[in-house]
Structure 1
Amino acid sequence: MISPQNLGTPLSSDELLRLEDFLVSSRTSDNAMSIDMLDGYLTAVAVGPDTLLPDQWLPYVWGLEDDAPPEFASEDEAGEIMGLLLRHMNSIVRLFIENPDSFLPLYERCSFEEESDRDLAAESWAYAFAMGIELSRESWRPLFDDDEAYGLLLPIFIVGGIGDEWDRIGDDETGEWRDALPEAVVGIYEYWVARQAEDGE
């Protein structure tokens, strides 16, 4: 059982592999998130304007609304996987509270055999970040309506291939936007922190 004391401990490489193996196993839906999607999705939840409970974000980890829930081999496995999910979520939250400038998406902390694999991981990450926004789209609206701050979302939309307007962007330019993505996510976090501070005055 996971104690409250280590719920914010980042997952080790082995634990990330364990979680990834379960997400892509035959015991989850074909629409379940990959580990890169999960990281992008939970990052959006962590840096966004609302505090969302697990029962608000967890269902989409397993797929679409009409997909079957995961099949756990036992209660112990269910507890293990849920613990890994919660720890990964909480570790992202903790990082942004303690040292946001150190943030890197998961795909930037991994090695890939082919550059095309990294590109796909980055696209999956950014696409899932946008899915996280949709969980509380109305609360995110001030950022969309802010002409200056809206630019923080562009690396996510371009890297994630969200919207037809990015179809003509070449690989080199997409790579530049990918490089800009971590700083943009930190900017999004700081945007909401500043707004919440203003609202608290």
Structure 2
Amino acid sequence: MSSQLSELLQNPQLADQLLSEAQTRGFVTAMAAAPHLIDPAEWLAFLWGGEETSPFASHEELETYANAIVNLWNETREALLTGSWQWPEACRLDDKELVTQETRELAEGVLQGWQLARDDWETIMPEESEDNALLGGVLLCFSLLYDPENAMEALSQEGADSLAQFEEIFNSVPTMICGLTLRAHALVEEQ
């Protein structure tokens, strides 16, 4: 994430009005993974709660923010399409809390962003298709990482070594989301 964007997200006057850095990264990841390109003008406002008026003090500050978001989107899209997307450094497993707060927030951002592209996903990977299982698997992983306590409980009820399974889920996310993005891209190209 660019230093300009990090600075804006850490600005105390904006921090309560914008998604956190991890939520922003997750939301942008969902937009970058979407099967059809969605103009940032259509989703940028969701990064500050969907309000019509942005929380920025000046047009220049808004423009700096928007440009940084578009740059992040470009970097993320490239990483997804080349199979090189990885968890950001702050997103990792945690012995005490299962995952770091940043991991939860990134997962939350992905799930929020997915809602905006949901119709596109359901059109390109309909419920009865094989591709829908990949989409469902990715969404399930992010849901489990957003709410790890319930995930651990569900895994242990299935008789699995829940901690080992949870680690496997976390480690598989980069491969899965890159694979999902590549598959969606291929399906769009075929149309």
Please give the TM-score of this superposition, normalised by the length of structure 2: 0.76
| Maintained 8 Å contact 1:37/1:128 | yes
Query: 2:127 matched to 1:133?
Result: no
Query: 1-side partners of 2:17 and 2:166: how far apart?
Result: 26
* AA aligned opposite 1:126: A
| Runs (4+) off by over 6 Å | none
- Count residues in correspondence: 177
Query: 1-side partners of 2:17 and 2:176: how far apart?
Result: 28
Aligned CA RMSD, in angstroms, stands at 3.0
Query: 2:41 matched to 1:60?
Result: no
| Maintained 8 Å contact 1:122/1:178 | no
Query: 2-side partners of 1:117 and 1:31: how far apart?
Result: 28
CA shift for structure 1 position 71: 2.6
> In structure 2, what is the equivalent of residue 7 of structure 1?
none
Aligned pairs for 1:50-199 within 5 A: 50-63=36-49, 65-66=50-51, 69-72=54-57, 74-97=58-81, 100-106=82-88, 109-110=89-90, 116=97, 119-141=100-122, 142-143=124-125, 145=127, 146=129, 148-149=133-134, 150-161=136-147, 166=151, 168=153, 169=155, 170-199=162-191
Identity, in percent, stands at 19
Unmatched segments (≥5 aa) in structure 1: 1-10
Query: 2:25 matched to 1:39?
Result: yes
| Maintained 8 Å contact 1:29/1:68 | no
Please give the TM-score of this superposition, normalised by the length of structure 1: 0.72
Unmatched segments (≥5 aa) in structure 2: 156-161
CA shift for structure 1 position 143: 3.5
Q: Secondary structure at the match of 2:36?
A: coil
Change (3 A) 1:24 1:104: same
| Maintained 8 Å contact 2:17/2:55 | no
CA shift for structure 1 position 67: 8.1
* AA aligned opposite 1:78: L
* AA aligned opposite 1:94: E
| Maintained 8 Å contact 1:41/1:125 | yes
| Maintained 8 Å contact 1:122/1:159 | yes
